[in-house]
Amino acid sequence: MKYLCLAYEEESILNSLTKSEWEVLRKETLDYVNDLKNNGRLIAAEPLQSVKLASTVRVRGGKVSITDGPFAETKETLGGFFLINARDLNEAIQVASKWPSARLGSIEVRPIEERLPEERRYS
């Protein structure tokens, strides 16, 4: 089963890391990405640019509105994602718990719908 893991982080925490702390975290992350690729669990992983560059798009009553930044005002914002294969939610949580930046932020783990349901969006 596929799971999307959304990595939330506080930019201020990452920006406050020393150069050597950042290099250690970066290497640890890239090593973990390689391990996940090598064992066939990783489908895709990408970091996102700063939330300051985000735009939130809404369409209401046929009108498009665009807001700079994320919709929610929170300290932790979406910093990246990784899409994995796992047997079940427990295994997906284990994979997410080893993602290095989970120590500084949080990882949301969500199962992927195999198809868009006919009855209703969420059951």
- For residue 2, give Cα distances in angstroms to 9, 17, 51, 104: 23, 32, 26, 25
**Is the separation of the CB atoms in 69 and 51 below 8 Å?**
yes
The pLDDT value recorded for residue 51 is: 85
Q: Which domains does the chain have, with CATH numbers?
A: 2-111 (3.30.70.1060)
The pLDDT value recorded for residue 25 is: 95
Given CA atoms 40, 112, 92, 15 in this order, what sign does their dihedral have?
positive
User: DSSP state, 88?
Assistant: S
- How confident is the chain (123 residues) per 10-residue block, as mean pLDDT? 94 93 96 97 94 88 87 78 96 96 94 84 73
Of the candidates 49, 54, 45, the residue with the CA atom closest to the CA atom of residue 11: 49
